[in-house]
Amino acid sequence: MNQSIRQAVMQASQQWIADFNSGNFAACLARYQAKASMSVSPFGRFQGIEQISSFWTEFAKSAPAELVYRNVQIKVLNEKQAVLSANWSMNIASGFISKELWSLADDGQWYLQEDDFSVLTQLEQPLEKAERTALVLVDLQNDYYSGGKFELQGIDAATEQARILLTHFRAHDLPVIHIQHIFKDSAAPFFNENTHGIEIETRVAPLDDEPVIVKHAIDSFTDTDLEQTLVELGIEKLVVVGAMAQACVQTICRTATYKGYECEVIADAIAAPQLTHPVQDFSGEQLVAANLISLSFGGAQAYALNDWLAKYGK
């Protein structure tokens, strides 16, 4: 029963998005109950269909389009009610949906009873597609290099490719996000707090205006500001470089895809260690290859750097 309700609410929500993106605001408004309430931070609260209609009519003057929901969660309250939450972005704004309360009416259709969302970022001019793509550099920190506590194979070559791509993003004023891994456990084998090993390698060190997301777990989304940063920047696609291929790179790509982001990984800009297994030893190159194969199935599209630049470089 719950699964069928979730599917029905998802379909109703997707139809609302489709109507919005086609400019059919009358159809969007028809999905609100007559006595529905809508709370929009920081603009205020709107009670009833007339006030809700006035808000959307005014908002439509800014030519909104390309609305997308990501990280959609639906919780069923009972047979006739379910709550949807999500991140949202469009060409001119982005934010969080804290609560869409959908209710099943006597006509068998689902309608919005409550609609609570926030606008984190609002732009005067729409973002171009390229501006909604962020380069994400994962854990390129000193402990992974010569003299560090956990040197990776191929890390210098991967870092040089990452540096080239970083230069491209900076030259075109495109978003760049750095991920820095710091273990809280003092017994961790590397990336220990207050050590030289946690510092980002100088060739790809962040500029003052580039966000640095500090994490304490393998997944860059766990208990970090990464998702908030992506929403605030209006990001739709991540281009991932860094280390390690079998751990943090694999995980950020999987989680990003699960949350609804496009994800690409630069094959010659990631690195891995040599690892020993009871059956077989694996070189860093083999681990990179194996993880690229794994990610190709519903995880991320892999490109060599030159191929990516040929396709997307200006």
Alpha-carbon distance of 17 to 12, in angstroms, equals: 9
Residue in the structure block whose two tokens are 């409550």 = 114
Residue type, 288: V
The CATH T-level fold of domain 2-122 is Nuclear Transport Factor 2; Chain: A, (3.10.450)
The reply to whether domains 2-122 and 129-312 share a CATH topology is no
Alpha-carbon distance of 172 to 131, in angstroms, equals: 9
| Under 8 Å between Cβ of 238 and 136 | yes
Q: Which CATH number fits domain 129-312: 3.40.710.10, 3.40.1280.10, 3.30.1330.90, 3.40.50.850?
A: 3.40.50.850
- Other Cβ atoms less than 10 A from the Cβ of 50: the count is 9
Q: What pLDDT digit, counting tens, does each position of 86-128 carry?
A: 999 999 999 999 999 999 999 999 999 999 999 999 998 888 8
Q: What pLDDT digit, counting tens, does each position of 197-244 carry?
A: 999 999 999 999 999 999 999 999 999 999 999 999 999 999 999 999
Residue 28's pLDDT band (boundaries 50, 70, 90)? very high
Predicted confidence (pLDDT) at residue 129 exceeds the cutoff of 90: no
Residues in CB range of 18: below 8 A, 6 or more apart: none
Domain ranges of the chain: 2-122, 129-312
